[in-house]
Amino acid sequence: MREEEKIFAGQFYNPGHPDLTAMKLRCHNLCHDFNNTYENEREKRAALLKEIFAEIGEGSSANGPITIHYGCHTTMGKNVFCNFNLTIQDDGKVTIGDRVNFGPNVTIVTPQHPLLPDERSFLKTKDGRTLRLCYAEPVTIGNDCWFGANVVVCPGVTIGNNCVIGAGSVVTKDIPDNSIAVGNPCRVLRTLSDADSMRHRPELFGDEEFVFD
């Protein structure tokens, strides 16, 4: 089994294997190219994002800099906005839905390491080889989510549709649909409702009139 297949099978893999190293180097170089573009070079940025990610939907964009580990393990839906300093360590698969907004400094991680220090340094095989290994757990983010600044999404987490994740949160467990969740570790505060509609904030309207369905 190839090292990449081991990742998706939930098995130990060697992050230093030449096949994986080549994949990461390709993505890192593309991120370097993206981060050296100007903000108004929209077509060039869009083309680079299509090279970086396995799939990226129409209307999705990112402010630089970005730091993506593999890229080819991440799919992103339509009209996703990524603010400054997005980091995705996508050893395992990362799936991002449509119309997701990421605030500055959002980090998504999938790899896990052995907890005991000796095992983290290396594991010994029955035939006497010593290997530095890790494993990964996929992350899934639903549609229409908003992530505040400095959110960290940990390995194995699924975040449902229509969720708001408060700034500085560390998401260690699944978040159900239609939730506001905050904190470290991130906890669901409550379910979103009509009470959260901007229809109840007329002081924000200024001279505009708005229609709410």
Catalytic residue among 28, 69, 113, 200: 113
Is the residue at 211 inside a domain? no
Is the residue at 210 inside a domain? no
Query: How many structural domains compose the chain?
Result: 1
Is 113 noted as a catalytic residue in this protein? yes
User: pTM of the full predicted structure?
Assistant: 0.93
Half-sphere exposure of residue 150: CA atoms within 13 angstroms, side-chain side: 6
Is the residue at 152 inside a domain? yes
Is the residue at 209 inside a domain? no
Is the residue at 213 inside a domain? no
What are 142-157's pLDDT values in tens digits? 999 999 999 999 999 9
Element (DSSP H or E) covering residue 5: helix 3-8
Is the residue at 36 inside a domain? yes
User: Which band of pLDDT confidence, cut at 50, 70 and 90, is reported for residue 128?
Assistant: confident
CB contact burial 52-73 (16+ within 10 A = b; e otherwise): bbbebbeebebebebbbbbbbb
- The CATH number that applies at residue 59 is 2.160.10.10
Looking at the DSSP bridge assignments, the partners of residue 141 are 96, 159
Task: Give the range of the structural domain holding residue 137, as residue numbers without chain letter.
Answer: 3-204
User: Which band of pLDDT confidence, cut at 50, 70 and 90, is reported for residue 175?
Assistant: very high
